[in-house]
Amino acid sequence: MAHNAFSEEEFESEEALTIKQFSEEEREQAPHNTDLYGDKQMNHQEPPSHSRLFLDDKVIPRSLVQKPPRRRWLAQWLGVTVGIGLGMAIAVVGMPILSHLFAKNSKVVKHNRSPAVDQSVAVEPAKLTRIAHTLNVTGTVVARDSLIPVLPLTTGLQIKQVLVKEGDVVQAGQQIAVLDQSVLQTQLEQAQAELEEAQALVEERLADRAQAQAKLAEAQRELQRYQTLANAGAISRQELDTRATTVETDVEGVRIIQANISNAQAQVHLNVAHVKQLQVQMTQTVVRAPVSGVIAEKIAQVGDVTGTQKLFSIIRNGLLEVQAQVPEIKLPQVKIGALAQITSAIDSQIHLQGQVKSIAPIIDPQNRQAKIEIDLPLTRLLRPGQFVQAAIALNSTNELTVPAQSVLSQATGGWLVFVLLANGTVRAQPVQVGEIKGNQIEIKQGLEVGTRVVVTGAGFLHDGDRVQVVTQPRVTPNYKPQQAAS
């Protein structure tokens, strides 16, 4: 392989070279009196200028890979010492300059937060606004007239059909379930057979009575005839007494038969009543809604046997109400007939208007609250047991308000507005806020009527900024206050 040969002068200009790492084989092939760097063993004489060492694909003069001469070593250390001294001098002299530049840059950053140019803003004066105050409470939906239970009129029967489900609207008398009547049918047929048997017995007793009465009549005629003969002396007294005894016996027989007839007729009456009872129970196997309303609960299941438990619960006419607790301190402000806006945190479709129906006369001594009832309009969006929020209208007063866009929240808590001063600058004014009504927010403390506050652009201002008032503010409906600039 051909190698490029360089003279020592050519290598004097090279800044750095990497010496090839020789393998053990190359070390063994090297002359015994010369090390790999060209130095004689035990004799470090200057090698001839033509002595060379291979580096990768180049040939390097051996003189360039020996230890540097002493004069070159001293020159290098002298350069290092001078460099360190020069660096320390620059550091000492440059620190004040860097500090000045840093301070100057800091001023520039601070200046950028409050630019010299005026910021364009829109302002609006604080004013008195008629505010309808409300009381927000949480309540539970219940049936207005309590839940109407539907009980089975006949017990011991199996439920054959369930015709309604929860939430269905039903009318009074509507079929809502059917019971199995096969057992009653068998009992009715048996009762009807017993009635017929009792009626036949009565007929038989009546026939016996007729015969007994005929026999009695014959005995009475014989007694009269014998009485005539006895008066004429034609027969003895003993024969007359015999005929009299026969009549008495026949009279007793008729009485006994009449008693049997009465018993048989009584049994007939009992059988008739039993049959009628079973017939009524047959009609009761059809369960009907006792009132019109909405099915609130369906307990009945096909195959269940009826007992004393209810089968359904009905909300009469589907009317509901909200029962809520009002704190004692707020109770005087709540009036019967006051309107209440009903909403739900889990169902945005629920937005109803109710009316306060009643206020409990007793305050709970444990929580110092009283129960109120709010009537609800007919709806299928609510169910008994559901939680809702009610905003009860209280009274209306004139309160100081500003646009909600002008109120900013502070990072440390609280609220503030930027007030426009006469010199064209703004001042950050802490305020105490109240209720939010549409695009206006109530200011309880911190402002006066007529004070001009920044509406548009307030979120980019700092205390003391100079501003330029431009067009009238564009008010955003239902605006939520934002955070002030830090």
Domain boundaries, the chain: 4-67, 119-130+398-483, 181-284, 315-396
pLDDT on residue 419: 95
Token pair, residue 326, equals 């009002």
Report the pLDDT value the prediction gives residue 336, as an integer from 0 to 100.
Answer: 93
The string over 366-401, giving b where at least 16 C-beta atoms fall within 10 Å of a residue's C-beta and e elsewhere, is eeebbbbbbebeeeebbebebebbbebbbeeeebbb
* Band of residue 415 on the pLDDT scale cut at 50, 70, 90: very high
CA proximity to 289, closest of 312, 307, 309: 312
Is the pLDDT confidence value at 90 over 90? Answer: no
Neighbours of 321 (CB within 10 A): 23
Dihedral of CA 109/110/113/119: which sign? negative
Q: How confident is the model at residue 12 (pLDDT cuts 50, 70, 90)?
A: very low
Examine the pLDDT at 272 and tell me if it is beyond 50. Answer: yes
Closest C-alpha among 164, 382, 168 to residue 294: 168
- The overall average pLDDT reported for the chain is 78
Q: State yes or no: pLDDT of 60 exceeds 60.
A: no
Nearest 5°: CA angle at 191, between 190 and 192?
90
Q: What is the mean pLDDT of residues 158-186?
A: 92
Give how far the C-alpha of residue 271 lies from the chain's centroid of Cα atoms, to the nearest Å.
60
Q: How far apart are CA 354 and CA 372, in angstroms?
A: 12
pLDDT of 211 over the 70 cut: yes
d(C-alpha 224, C-alpha 244), whole Å? 9
Structure confidence at residue 479 (pLDDT): 53
Dist. CA 455–CA 474, nearest whole Å:
8
pLDDT, tens digit (0-9, with 9 covering 90-100), for 316-357:
888 899 999 999 999 999 999 999 999 999 999 999 999 999
- Fill in the amino acid letter for 469: V
Residue whose C-alpha is closest to residue 283's, from 170, 196, 173, 149:
173
Average pLDDT over residues 280-302: 91
- pLDDT band of residue 477 (cuts 50, 70, 90) is low
Question: What's the whole-model pTM score?
Answer: 0.49
Query: What is the CATH code for 119-130+398-483?
Result: 2.40.420.20
pLDDT attached to residue 76: 54
Tell me which range, 40-54, 104-118, 358-372, 458-472, is most confidently predicted by mean pLDDT: 358-372
Mean pLDDT in residue range 358-378: 93
pLDDT of residue 425: 93
Residues 323 and 386: beta-carbon distance below 8 Å: no
Please report how the helices 237-283 and 182-232 are oriented relative to each other, as an axis angle in degrees rounded to 10. 170
> Which CATH class, in words, describes the domain spanning 315-396?
mainly beta
At residue 312 the predicted structure's pLDDT band, cuts being 50, 70 and 90, is very high
Q: CA torsion angle for 190, 193, 198, 201 (degrees, to 10)? A: -140
Average pLDDT over residues 3-20: 42
List CB contacts of 152: < 8 A, sequence separation 6 or more: 179, 284, 287, 306, 307, 311
pLDDT of residue 207: 87
pLDDT in tens, 416-455: 999 999 999 999 999 999 888 888 999 999 999 999 999 9
Question: What average pLDDT does the segment 246-275 reach?
Answer: 88
- The pLDDT value recorded for residue 175 is 94
- Residue 457 zone, left/alpha/beta (φ > 0; ψ -120 to 50; rest): left
Give the whole-angstrom CA distance, residue 474 versus residue 122: 8
CA distance 71 to 53: 24
pLDDT surpassing 90 at residue 370: yes
